[in-house]
Amino acid sequence: MHLALSYIPILTWAKDYNRHILASDLIAAVIVTIMLIPQSLAYALLAGLPPEVGLYATILPLIVYAVFGSSRTLSVGPVAIASLMTAASLSDIAQQGSHDYLAAAITLAMLSGIFLLMLGVLKLGLLTNFLSHPVVSGFITASAILIAFSQFKYILGVNAEGGDAITLITSLLSSLQQINIPTIIIGLGVLLFLFSVKNSGTSFLMMFGLSKRTSQLTTKAAPVIGVLATILIVSYMSLHEQGVAIVGQIPSGLPRLAIPQFSIALIEQLAMPAIFISIIGYVESISVGKTLAAKRREKTDANQELIGLGAANIASAISGGFPVTGGFSRSVVNFDAGAVTQAASIYTAIGIAIASMLLTPVLFYLPKATLAATIIIAVVSLIDFSIVKKTWSYSKSDCFAVIITIVVTLLFGVEAGVICGVLVSIFLHLYRTTTPHIAEVGLIEGTQFFKNVRRFHVITDPHILSLRIDESLFFGNASYMEDKIYHYLFNDDQIGHVIIICSAVNEIDFSALETLKNINERLIEQGVILHLSEVKGPVLDALTNVDFIESLSGNVYVSQFEAFNDNTNSKIEYK
């Protein structure tokens, strides 16, 4: 039972479910459903898929996440960035609209699901931390810009393609003469409407006496109003005959569940993209989940979250959908609308299922420009260059990582951007750890404290070199330490004792041990004695086990003061 509880979080809240929670969850579900219908259609469009696939990717994943996910209020489904990444991954593999394209999208969801599930079951959730915050922020900003550009073609009613900013813009510019006037009127109209609602909708509604929360939640229905209004306009005026691109026939009914067929070649091509989409999706999702959980002092669990998202993606694949993750805006709306448990998501899934059974005929005349406008308004709020300024004032290397990520994403597309972001993050981190702070120290007169000789006026002995290493020793920095010690010896013939102060050394790995052995032997050849001081218990135990302490030419001292005093010719005594 304990195991079941730990892997199936639904069991922890289902038993306490009551009428009050039901009411709260139902209200939230209605609001989220209204918000999700246009959103699901829009993100399917962004991913290059038929609109119904957006609905399919919303239903089963919501239910499966409700069972396995650790967050109480996270809402899972298609999101903007994962949809863009899906389109980018599939662009080289098949033609948009083809059967192969859809099959590849399903494979991508399945691979993402399996990968996330594996990370979760193996408890490797921490690995996803290797995308630093600044890199993720930069990536999201750049991706949002790419998404907005990619949707302008629908607003203008032209054909334009491209996975990077320059191709997109030149493609848009070169097709400007094809602009379709009715399309642009609808597109800009919806854009203006959504923009106004977003900026002043809440205060407008509050003027009519609605509470702030009700007003805020009501504004979330704006896309649905846009959708309905433009459907009416297009169908009434038959604008689709004047070149306005519409969604057209959407098969009605529920997705058919099927275990996807896989080709090995496709898996090879999509494995890396699936990993990137998964990680980016997870990072987005967990940050939302954590924020919401912490607000109610609830718990999220990184590995359980991976399992929940993994299962949701597999569910998406089985129901013919594409990669999904926890979305920011949808989760916040769910939370603000009062959802208490994941039951709200199950009701939302039922709502979307009903919509896909009944409403699809209504959506026939829905202009693609309306969906594009919805997407643009949604992603514009993700664009945030302030991260550049913030990192600049705190850490130049973080700022560098942000700028690289933004530039590479804009110029070379999302895949290059995310690869580059991960590599730059890890690279900068590794580079920092390879050059630990190593200070030559001396005794502060009248105390037993040893401080950096460069910053303090200290007592030293020309025959003794005392070095404090401010980091655990491992393969990445062991040879830096070695070089540093040889460098001191090379420049100073008087040194007869080297004392390494290990107070900040939490671990010594095998490579560093080998390096210490080398140093010890080289120093013996040069007639220099090597001592260690202030070695932590576990480290000392490990060194003793492999007989390093025995082979050490000098001693191990509990305190640096003792180490210094034992080897200097001019003993220091305090009374």
Query: In the set 432, 462, 494, 541, which binds its own copies (CB under 8 A)?
Result: 432
CB 33 within 8 A of CB 20: no
Residue number, 220 or 497, with CB nearest to its own copies:
497
Stretch that binds its own copies, among 103-111, 240-248, 441-449, 515-523 (CB under 8 A): 515-523
Tell which one of 103, 131, 190, 324 touches its own copies (CB under 8 A). Answer: 131
Quote the CA–CA distance of 179 and 188 in Å, as a whole number: 13
Give the interface segment with its own copies, choosing from 17-25, 44-52, 71-79, 391-399 (CB under 8 A). 391-399
Return the residue of 95, 159, 249, 506 that touches its own copies, per CB under 8 A: 506
If one asks whether residue 328 binds its own copies (CB under 8 A), the answer comes out as: no
426 binds its own copies (CB under 8 A): yes
* Contact by Cβ (8 Å): 423, 131: no
Q: In the complex with its own copies, which residue's Cβ is closer, 32 or 399?
A: 399
Question: Residues 293-312: x/- map of binding to its own copies (CB under 8 A)?
Answer: xxx-xxx--x----------
Residue 250 and residue 153: Cα distance in Å, rounded?
22
Site for its own copies in 277-296 (CB under 8 A): 286, 290-291, 293-295
The 10 Å Cβ neighbour count of residue 389 is 11
Among residues 532, 476, 552, the alpha carbon closest in space to that of 509 is found at 476
Q: Per this entry, what is the length of the chain?
A: 575
Closer residue to its own copies, CB minimum distance, 191 or 552? 552
Q: In angstroms, what is the minimal distance from the CB of 398 to its own copies?
A: 4
Residue 2 Cα distances to 15, 311, 498, angstroms: 15, 20, 54
| Binder of its own copies out of 18, 261, 386, 545 (CB under 8 A) | 545
The first and second tokens of residue 159, run together, are: 């054909």
514, 544, 551, 558: residue in contact with its own copies (rule CB under 8 A) = 514
Residue 381 in contact with its own copies, rule: CB under 8 A: no
Taking CB under 8 A as the criterion, the residue among 212, 213, 389, 437 binding its own copies is: 437
Please report whether residue 564 would count as binding its own copies according to CB under 8 A: no
Nearer to its own copies, 120 or 187 (CB): 120
Residue 386 interacting with its own copies (CB under 8 A): no
**Alpha-carbon torsion (55, 96, 270, 281), positive or negative:** negative
Q: How far apart are CA 268 and CA 111, in angstroms?
A: 10
* Residue 210 beta carbon to its own copies: minimum distance, rounded to whole angstroms: 26
How far apart CA 108 and CA 102 sit, in angstroms, is 10
- Annotate each residue in 471-490 with x if it binds its own copies (CB under 8 A) or - if it does not, as one string: xx-xxxxxxx-xx--xx-xx
In whole angstroms, give the CA distance from residue 241 to residue 56: 29
- What span, in angstroms and rounded, lies between the C-alpha atoms of 125 and 304? 9
Q: Is 13 in the site for its own copies (CB under 8 A)?
A: no
Q: In which order are the strands placed within the sheet that holds 497-501? A: 450-452, 438-443, 464-469, 497-501, 529-533, 556-557
Measured from the CB atom, the residue of 128 and 215 that comes closer to its own copies is: 128
Do 80 and 375 contact (CB within 8 A), yes or no? yes
CA distances from 296 to 65, 167, 217, 287, 293 (A): 20, 45, 20, 15, 6
Nearest distance from C-beta of residue 497 to its own copies, angstroms: 16
Cβ closer to its own copies: 478 or 499?
478
Rounded to a whole number of angstroms, the minimum distance from the CB of residue 541 to its own copies is 11
CA dist 83 and 103 (Å) reads 15
Any bridge partners for residue 442, and if so which?
Answer: 451
Q: Is 214 in the site for its own copies (CB under 8 A)?
A: no
**What is the closest distance, in whole angstroms, from the C-beta atom of residue 393 to its own copies in the complex?**
6
> Which amino acid is residue 314, in one-letter code?
I
Question: Residue 536 CB, nearest distance to its own copies (Å)?
Answer: 9
Collapsed DSSP state (helix, strand, coil) of residue 50: coil
Are 222 and 205 a contacting pair, CB within 8 Å?
no
Binding of its own copies at residue 395 (CB under 8 A)? yes
| CA terminus-to-terminus distance, the chain | 64
Give me 482's structure tokens.
């070695």
Task: Write the DSSP symbol of residue 386.
Answer: H
* Rounded Cα distance, 9 and 3, in Å: 10
Under the binding rule (CB under 8 A), the answer on residue 415 touching its own copies is no
Tell me: does residue 447 bind its own copies (CB under 8 A). Answer: no
Say which amino acid occupies 263: S
**170 in contact with its own copies (CB under 8 A):** no
* Distance (Å, whole) CA 439 – CA 437: 6
The reply to whether 118 sits near its own copies by the rule CB under 8 A is: no
CB of 159 or CB of 506, closer to its own copies: 506
Q: How far is the CB of 481 from its own copies (least distance, A)?
A: 11
By beta-carbon proximity to its own copies, the closer residue of 258 and 449 is 449
Helix (H) or strand (E) run with residue 387 in it:
helix 386-394
Q: Using an 8 Å Cβ cutoff, are 157 and 176 in contact?
A: no
Show contacts with its own copies in window 30-69 (CB under 8 A). none
Q: Which one, 213 or 487, has the nearer CB to its own copies?
A: 487
The distance of closest approach from Cβ of residue 477 to its own copies in the complex, given in angstroms and rounded to an integer, is 7
DSSP class of residue 364 equals G
Number of residues that bind its own copies (CB under 8 A): 67
Alpha carbons 62 and 250: distance in angstroms, whole number: 21
Q: How far is the CB of 475 from its own copies (least distance, A)?
A: 4
Is 540 near its own copies (CB under 8 A)?
Answer: no
Q: Is 195 one of the binding residues for its own copies (CB under 8 A)?
A: no
Q: Does 132 bind its own copies (CB under 8 A)?
A: yes
> Rounded distance, CA 47 to CA 322, Å?
9
C-beta of 137 vs 356, nearer to its own copies: 137
Contact between 463 and its own copies by CB under 8 A: the answer reads: no
Cβ neighbours of residue 541 under 8 Å, at least 6 residues apart? none
- Binding residues for its own copies, per CB under 8 A? 124, 126-127, 129-134, 286, 290-291, 293-295, 297-299, 302, 390-391, 393-395, 398, 425-426, 429-435, 437, 470-472, 474-480, 482-483, 486-487, 489-490, 504, 506-507, 509-511, 513-515, 518, 522, 525-526, 542, 545-546
